[in-house]
Amino acid sequence: MVEVNSFQYEQTHDQKLKESVCVAATVKVIAFDKKKMTVNVQPLSKHLEHGNYESQPPILRVPVMCMKTGGFIVRPWITVGDVGLVVYLDHDLDSTVSGGKEADPLTERNHATSDAIFIGGIVSGNYSAPGIPDNAHVISSEDGGSFIAIAKDYIRIKSPMVYIN
């Protein structure tokens, strides 16, 4: 008969439990649906499967986080290849996201890939657009050729052409 070390068993159990919970992942966008504001993404971190690191499957139709406050919406524009973050919600998002109200979960899912939200825009490495002002909130092209900067004491716009409709 094999004697089981209960402390070691609990440690192994706890470790396996931690490994099974999805919280967040860095991902690369492989498709963007501008009408539905969803993305298909590929997780960038491989997972250990039977002693080998393997690519994870894509996560499809993930809602894109937009900021909506005070009657205004800030909508990002996503392109294939963008790197971002998905967050796996504690409970299914079916009722709360579609209705925007408090609701009972429709399923018992927890931290499932089908309940992910894409929070885009991680700049890989230490890249920064050249020539943009410090100490300001900035929307900029990657090359710094065009930007809008809002600082405490000024608003600065740089553009080779201003278009007003």
Please give the chain's pLDDT, 165 residues, in tens. Answer: 566 677 777 777 667 666 667 788 999 999 999 999 999 999 999 988 888 999 999 999 999 988 888 888 888 889 999 999 999 887 666 666 666 677 676 666 665 677 788 998 887 767 777 888 888 888 888 888 898 999 999 999 998 887 766
* pLDDT value of position 97: 66
Give the pLDDT confidence score for residue 5 in this predicted structure. Answer: 73
Given CA atoms 130, 133, 136, 141 in this order, what sign does their dihedral have? negative
Q: How far apart are CA 52 and CA 149, in angstroms?
A: 47
Sheet strands (E) in the chain: 24-33, 38-43, 47-49, 52-54, 59-63, 67-69, 72-74, 83-88, 116-120, 136-140, 147-151, 155-158
Sketch out the chain's domains with CATH numbers.
22-124 (2.40.50.230), 128-165 (no CATH)
The pLDDT value given to residue 71: 84
pLDDT at 27: 96
Cβ atoms of 86 and 27 closer than 8 Å: yes
Look at residue 50 in the predicted model and tell me its pLDDT. 86
pLDDT tens track for 93-135: 666 666 667 767 666 666 567 778 899 888 776 777 788 888 8
